[in-house]
Amino acid sequence: MQDKNNRWILAAQCASRLGTVDVVTRFLKEQRCYITEQQSFDDRLSERFFIRTEFRPEDETFDADAFQSAFAERAADFAMSFELTAPETRIPVVIMVSKADHCLNDLLYRYRIGQLPIDIRAIVSNHPDLAPLAEWHGIPYRYLPITPQTKPEQEAQVWEEIEAAGAELVILARYMQVLSSSMCQKLTGKAINIHHSLLPGFKGARPYHQAYEKGVKLVGATAHYINDDLDEGPIITQGVEPVSHTDYPEDLVAKGRDVECLTLARAVTLHVERRVFLHANRTVVFDR
């Protein structure tokens, strides 16, 4: 039986031109690597090509460094950037939260059972409320309070925690603070946020109650990379749930929480499996 865990990932992009698929597949064949999954997309508007390939080496002596060095020479002819990810890679993560615990709880459960290939190094919060949850999972909890006057100092402390953890991904699991422009720039392509999909129609406090008053028929959630535009970064994935006149505000809140959990977990999975390519203010996502 073939080992499903021995799957490497090669993710690459370059300008659209003849031979983009061939340069990947031919090289893998020459290296005696069997392709188990492959997805590609050519954006005709921007003339940009994206490809993601999962493969397993046929030779037990597979050398990742030699593979990357040899492929870099081949890819140079196409000015192709690429990333090679080893099997069972668990990327280091920092999670940021405030008081709401539903998204954090869901991520920790999936992490505990091995469903998410991540290594949670720390949980950072501007409130002390969720410290017991982190402690139960044996994960360091950093309580860093914030006020409008101390925002620069607090963000500097947050950045120190991120760097100390060696985090390659920051997950904002209902972190209810607006990050500064400089922090957003530092975390470009490396921070995922989750929010309800009632925006921009129902801004501010109690959005689900506002939606109830308008008789909405769908609630949902959006997971996206952060940028300087509040809640308007490149979207990774979205989820929706139908509601009806029989649902009261508390029902909309409960359904919204469920969709947020599922959507955030899915976005994290897509990111760590190298299925997401940033493309200007959009994303190219090769779904599972």
Catalytic residue numbers, as ranges: 231
Helix 207-214 × helix 249-272 angle, to 10°: 120
DSSP code per residue over 18-80: TTHHHHHHHHHHHTTEEEEEEEEEEETTTTEEEEEEEEEESSTT--HHHHHHHHHHHHHTTT-
- Under DSSP, is residue 196 helix (H, G, I), strand (E, B) or coil? strand
152 to each of 88, 148, 156, 192, how far by Cα in Å?
37, 9, 6, 21
CA distances, 5 to each of 31, 87, 117, 126 (Å)? 19, 6, 12, 38
On whether the CB atoms of residues 237 and 263 are closer than 8 A, the answer is yes
